[in-house]
């Protein structure tokens, strides 16, 4: 494959893992050798990378000998079990699960926001939850300009955020509806086709879901604002790809809508998409396949002097997962 690094992708057949392969190829990441790992269910299957067909391997002890960079996208259980083994073998792990995100010794990185924190890694660097990435991108320029005081974020999350089974469920239920057949919920707790489910990742004792608490804790860690007040709601919606978030932000200093457009338009990784007269605003069908997060519907809060409302959308398989992880690896090799 040429000069570069020995790279491993764990969970290569999942939604995030397969997108990681695509992003590595698109961004011409320097890969000398690529090893792809998947579960026993994928034994005998193969993936394609740069025109080559690579057989999938099953991860296990000894799998990471010689690996220099390992991307983990197979879930927190596998990350907890195998990421330390990869580090022991000499690899740097970029982990996309929730396994290490809140570990004080593990940096949680969005390269456009806190690249400096990556210097402090001890073998593992965590990539945030996909909703966190989409939400925090426009928060950073506002904080730098006017200091955040409070954030209210309501996310509308695509089924691919739950993996390939989420995609299969929405497709199956939609086809069943079109054929006039009954709709069965097998993966999500309720029908997802033509429905909204305000429940992602279990409920805590305080009534918030796991996805909502991830948003709170991860945004605070990335922005280094441990006391930032955040009120989250997360909703699963019948969209295949791309998460959208309605955000209300209160700042210490007033930021006009015009100033916010200027800040968003000048921030790397954000694309201003805000022309209401032309019905131009971020939507999943617009941002799917894009690495930037798109922000629009920018307006000043009618109820509070120093507050803004806006709408941000991003492809959660790309910037929300794979692209962010590859950007972290690019940062590390620099």
Q: What is the pLDDT of residues 162-203, one digit of tens each?
A: 988 999 999 999 999 999 999 999 999 999 999 999 999 999
| Percent of the chain whose predicted confidence (pLDDT) is above 70 | 99
Residue 313: what are its φ and ψ, rounded to 5°? -135, 145
Strand partners, 272: 295
Q: Grade residue 44 by pLDDT with cuts at 50, 70 and 90.
A: confident
Q: Grade residue 96 by pLDDT with cuts at 50, 70 and 90.
A: very high
List 36, 121, 243, 293, catalytic entry: 243
Q: In this predicted structure, what is the pLDDT of residue 321?
A: 96
Q: Both 272 and 144 in a single domain?
A: yes
Q: Both 89 and 194 in a single domain?
A: no
The CATH number of residue 95's host domain is: 3.40.50.720
Q: Both 36 and 75 in a single domain?
A: yes
Residue 147 falls in which region: left (phi positive, over 0), alpha (psi -120 to 50) or beta: left
Q: Both 96 and 137 in a single domain?
A: no
Q: How far apart are alpha carbons 202 and 95 in whole angstroms?
A: 22
Q: In this predicted structure, what is the pLDDT of residue 233?
A: 98
How does pLDDT run across 155-164, given as a tens digit for each residue? 999 999 998 8
Which pair of structure tokens corresponds to residue 150? 């409070």
165 SS3 class: helix
Least confident of 59-68, 180-189, 253-262, 295-304: 59-68
Q: In this predicted structure, what is the pLDDT of residue 60?
A: 83
Q: What is the mean pLDDT of residues 279-287?
A: 97
For 120, which DSSP code? G
Q: In this predicted structure, what is the pLDDT of residue 334?
A: 85
Q: Both 10 and 106 in a single domain?
A: yes
Number of other CB atoms surrounding residue 62 within 10 Å:
8
How does pLDDT run across 58-92, given as a tens digit for each residue? 888 889 999 999 999 988 999 999 999 999 999 99
Is residue 238 classed exposed, middle or buried when 0-12, 13-18 and 19+ CB atoms within 10 A define those classes? middle
Q: Both 262 and 139 in a single domain?
A: yes
How many structural domains is the chain composed of? 2
Mean pLDDT of the chain: 96
Q: Grade residue 206 by pLDDT with cuts at 50, 70 and 90.
A: very high
Query: How do beta strands 307-314 and 293-300 pair?
Result: antiparallel
Which pair of structure tokens corresponds to residue 115? 């690249």
Q: In this predicted structure, what is the pLDDT of residue 2?
A: 65
Q: Both 99 and 164 in a single domain?
A: no
Q: Both 265 and 292 in a single domain?
A: yes
Q: Both 169 and 290 in a single domain?
A: yes
Q: Both 305 and 162 in a single domain?
A: yes
Q: Both 123 and 136 in a single domain?
A: no
Q: Is there a catalytic annotation at residue 130? A: yes
- Residue ranges in 27-72 assigned as alpha helix (H): none
Q: In this predicted structure, what is the pLDDT of residue 176?
A: 98
The CATH number of residue 271's host domain is: 3.30.360.10
Q: In this predicted structure, what is the pLDDT of residue 1?
A: 59
Asked if residue 38 has pLDDT above 90, the reply is no
Residue-range definition of the domain harbouring residue 12: 5-127+321-333
Q: Grade residue 214 by pLDDT with cuts at 50, 70 and 90.
A: very high
List 36, 121, 130, 143, catalytic entry: 130
Q: In this predicted structure, what is the pLDDT of residue 144?
A: 98
Q: What is the mean pLDDT of residues 99-124?
A: 97
Q: Both 188 and 300 in a single domain?
A: yes
């Amino acid at each position: 494959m040429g000069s570069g690094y020995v790279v491993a992708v764990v969970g290569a057949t999942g939604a995030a893992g397969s997108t990681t392969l695509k992003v590595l190829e698109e961004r011409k990441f320097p890969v000398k050798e690529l090893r792809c790992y998947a579960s026993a269910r994928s034994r005998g299957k193969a993936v394609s990378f740069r025109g080559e067909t690579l057989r999938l391997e099953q991860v296990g002890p000894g799998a990471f000998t010689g690996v220099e960079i390992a991307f983990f996208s197979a879930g927190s259980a596998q990350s907890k079990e195998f990421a330390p083994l990869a580090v022991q073998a000499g690899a740097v792990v970029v982990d996309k699960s929730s396994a290490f995100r809140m570990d004080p010794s593990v940096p949680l990185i969005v390269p456009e926001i806190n690249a400096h924190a990556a210097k402090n890694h001890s073998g593992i660097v965590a990539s945030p939850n996909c909703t966190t990435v989409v939400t925090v991108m426009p928060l950073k320029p506002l904080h730098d300009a006017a200091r955040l005081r409070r954030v209210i974020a309501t996310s509308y999350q695509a089924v691919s955020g739950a993996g390939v089974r989420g995609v299969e469920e929405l497709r199956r239920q939609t086809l069943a509806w079109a054929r006039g057949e009954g709709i069965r919920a097998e993966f999500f707790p309720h029908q997802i086709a033509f429905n909204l489910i305000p429940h992602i990742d279990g409920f805590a004792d305080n009534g918030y879901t796991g996805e909502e608490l991830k948003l709170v804790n991860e945004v605070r860690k990335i922005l280094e604002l441990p006391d930032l007040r955040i009120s989250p709601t997360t909703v699963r919606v019948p969209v295949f790809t791309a998460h959208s978030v309605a955000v209300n932000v209160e700042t210490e200093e007033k930021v006009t809508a015009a100033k916010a457009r200027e800040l968003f338009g000048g921030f790397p990784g954000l694309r201003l998409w805000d022309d209401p007269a032309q019905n131009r605003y971020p939507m999943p069908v617009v941002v799917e396949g894009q690495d930037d997060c798109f922000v629009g519907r920018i307006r000043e809060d009618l109820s509070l002097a120093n507050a803004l409302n806006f709408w941000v959308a991003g492809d959660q398989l790309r910037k929300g997962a794979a692209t962010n992880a590859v950007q972290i690896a690019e940062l590390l090799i620099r």
